[in-house]
Copies of this chain bind each other. A is one copy, B any other.
């Protein structure tokens, strides 16, 4: 970012009273900050403002937490959108938000089946409308029968509507070929909600040591943000970029051994298929993690929200539950929480906030506490629950909506697979970039070799070099990505995350424009 655009950026931020937030984003690596030591202090009364609540006396964990996917780049991107609306001249016509896995925002069409069910449960008079196929009506009726007073406006049980939990259990059974008890299924408002509910249980100082959680680096920033909020220690284990972002046992051993010196490791998070890294773990790799977690007495959290997003030939999704169960005792008795969402897959219903957590082998007392802890938030949104029902209980062969549903689903997944390949291939064709194949999920996480002068310039400005690169890209092309430092990366390497979600034509234009920018950038800073 030129110093001109940086100062413009800070000026903008000040207008929105976000200056301090933005500055902290620009000046510190979120990843470094999150593993910092300044989280557990008792603040002394040194008021920075006359306000009752100010930066000096507010929750220090909230102050420190970062959420890179929605950081200052996105704020600047939104500002540029407003400038464009006002007619400000730019070298591009629109901002392309490749920063977040937001399918419909990028032009993906909602699945008709899902939206028809939503309309029917929202306005049950439509059940008399002959234009809706019977299988859609049946599903809507089943959901409404599960609602008190027959209305989606009633509270449900905190873990969700019984019939939907049962449908989820059947879905999991079909997927894994292993029994699933619906009482182990808790619906939630998106996977983030479920993940936080489980991590919350693990917050406990033991023998004076803080709890720690192993998370992959690069990671999805929900984890670092939640660990910061809960004042838990983040134990990063690096994924191996040279082995297609696979998990390496030696690295797991290294990270836990170091961590045990200063905290108490309680759990391990695995994201499969990977976010931001797009890998799909082999069965062998999943087995390794399970055995490691068993040996180290770790609670397993399997973030499996991209289970439908597997593209690469030879890649296959193996759920942690399936592998753990098939390994037999003692592994099959391990505690596991697995998370699923209606925001990803082929449906991409991010805004509707549906998801589920399956827990297995929990201590019954702990499970009771989990149920209690979610009860104060009453229940996850009923329409989000309804979407989850559509995902796990889709039209079956012979039903009226079956063919159109299958067609829409297959078309989304096929196009995503093509885009996954296009993105990785293109980045690999650009000098100074290398990108692992996008086997699954919705992201590429290429490595970029930045010119020394650019790195120095960024450091002089107190900005992460990959954030410097990303701001320049945004200002010059309108493409909004997330710097690798927001997810964590090996020191001295630079990456970015982009989604593969822009529709094919837009994606091709974006990649062209990205390539031109990159070559110019290399030229400018060589």
Measured CB to CB, the residues of A under 8 A from B are 16-21, 42-45, 48-49, 51-55, 57-63, 65-67, 70, 78, 97, 100, 102-108, 110, 115-116, 118-119, 122-123, 126, 147-149, 151-158, 183, 189-190, 192-193, 196, 200-208, 221-222, 225-226, 229, 266, 297-299, 334-335, 347-353, 361-369, 371-373, 375-384
Contact = CB atoms under 8 A, between A and B. Distances in A.
A492 to B, nearest CB: 28
B335 A206 contact: no
B52 A151 contact: no
Contact of A381 (B17, B62, B67, B352): B352
21 contacts: A20-B364, A42-B208, A45-B206, A51-B362, A55-B365, A57-B206, A65-B376, A78-B157, A102-B154, A102-B155, A104-B149, A110-B153, A115-B123, A118-B123, A151-B351, A153-B350, A189-B189, A351-B381, A352-B382, A353-B379, A381-B381
Given A226-B376, A299-B53, A365-B20, A59 B348 contact: no
Contacts of A100: 155
A475 B207 CA distance: 45
B206 A102 contact: no
A21 B110 contact: no
B372 A65 contact: yes
A51 B366 contact: yes
Given A52-B298, A105-B154, A155-B350, 10 more contacts: A21-B368, A58-B366, A67-B376, A102-B154, A102-B155, A104-B148, A118-B383, A152-B352, A189-B189, A190-B377
A433 B470 CA distance: 69
Contacts of A63: 369
Contacts of A19: 368
A397 to B, nearest CB: 24
Contacts of A196: 377
Given A45-B207, A60-B204, A376-B225, A105 B53 contact: no
Contacts of A54: 363, 365-366
Given A207-B45, A266-B53, A102 B366 contact: no
A41 to B, nearest CB: 8
A229 to B, nearest CB: 7
A243 B55 CA distance: 40
Given A151-B351, A351-B151, A381-B352, A20 B368 contact: yes
Given A106-B149, A119-B126, A353 B381 contact: yes
Contacts of A52: 266, 297-299, 334-335
A155 B501 CA distance: 14
B21 A372 contact: yes
A59 B200 contact: yes
A200 to B, nearest CB: 6
Contacts of A377: 190, 192-193, 196
Nearest to A55: B365
A390 to B, nearest CB: 12
A53 B21 contact: no
A80 B498 CA distance: 53
Contacts of A51: 335, 361-363, 366
A53 B375 contact: no
B372 A153 contact: no
Given A122-B122, A350-B154, A148 B207 contact: no
Given A58-B202, A116-B123, A206-B57, A368 B17 contact: yes
Contacts of A151: 104-105, 110, 351
B352 A153 contact: yes
Contact of A201 (B62, B154, B349): B62
A192 to B, nearest CB: 6
Contacts of A204: 43, 57-60
Nearest to A380: B353
A40 to B, nearest CB: 9
**Interface hub of A225, A266, A373 (most chain B Cβ within 10 A):** A373
Contacts of A299: 52-53
A455 to B, nearest CB: 27
